[in-house]
A = this chain, B = another copy of it.
Amino acid sequence: MSAPAAQQPRKPRGPYAKTKATRQRILDAALQVFAESGFRSGSLREISEKVGLSDAGLLHHYPTKAALLEAVLRHRDDVALRDFNIDLEDPRAVVQSFLDITERNMNQPGVVELYCTLSAEATTPDHPAHEFFTERYEWVRGLVVGAFERLAAAGSLNDGVDPRSAGIQLISLMDGLQVQWLLDRSALDMTVEVKRYLDGLARTPFIDPRRR
């Protein structure tokens, strides 16, 4: 779920390019390490060990640590966008997708940890992922606020619900739930909470009954 698409690294020329597979393994390992320790204290050493490569071997594929981080973030977002393939013009589908993403997230705590840790770390302006996250939040906020605005215009929201606030709050809710959930997974069910929040916004539920 990211604004611009990513450009592929480089020439996948050979007939059976092991390169692609290696890079995939690097991304997987990097995700794990950055999720566990964040960017700053996660080390290339740990990543290269996980992959079974030397440090220099790893840096052949991604020239710097920051470049590797970029690649991990963009890759995750590309995968998510492709898997869900949301119709951005349909406000109900957009809102529904937030619930779908929450549900998926409960099955991949590693990714949740990655975004939690990194988004907090990247609030500092000099962090290599700072721009990525500011742009990402701006984009997501625009997406969901737009959806709520169209729903409001169609009279589908309760009186007194401000579309922009609802968008900001939905995003905040999801982010905040993740911290509590990561700290103690038995304390709450993220899907239930998101669903309840959405149900509170409208008399007629958003959720397509065929899907849940």
Contact = CB atoms under 8 A, between A and B. Distances in A.
Interface of A: 36-38, 40-41, 113, 116-117, 119-124, 130, 133-134, 137-138, 141, 160-162, 165, 168-169, 171-177, 179-180, 182-184, 187-188, 192-193, 196-197, 199-200
Contact of A40 (B41, B162, B192, B193): B41
A15 to B, nearest CB: 42
5 contacts: A36-B124, A119-B183, A121-B121, A122-B183, A171-B176
A130 B182 CA distance: 11
A172 B183 contact: no
A38 B118 CA distance: 11
A192 B172 contact: no
Contact of A138 (B40, B162, B184, B192): B184
B137 A183 contact: yes
Contact of A179 (B41, B120, B197): B120
B173 A169 contact: yes
A177 B174 CA distance: 10
A168 B123 CA distance: 24
Pairs of residues from A and B, 9 with the lowest C-beta to C-beta distance, nearest first: A172-B176, A40-B41, A175-B176, A176-B176, A123-B182, A120-B120, A172-B177, A116-B120, A41-B41
B188 A168 contact: yes
Contact of A38 (B40, B134, B174): B40
A161 B36 CA distance: 36
Given A121-B38, A192-B165, A180 B171 contact: yes
Given A117-B121, A176-B173, A141 B40 contact: no
Given A40-B38, A40-B41, A176-B173, A168 B193 contact: yes
Contacts of A192: 165
A91 to B, nearest CB: 20
A173 B37 CA distance: 24
Contact of A168 (B141, B168, B177): B177
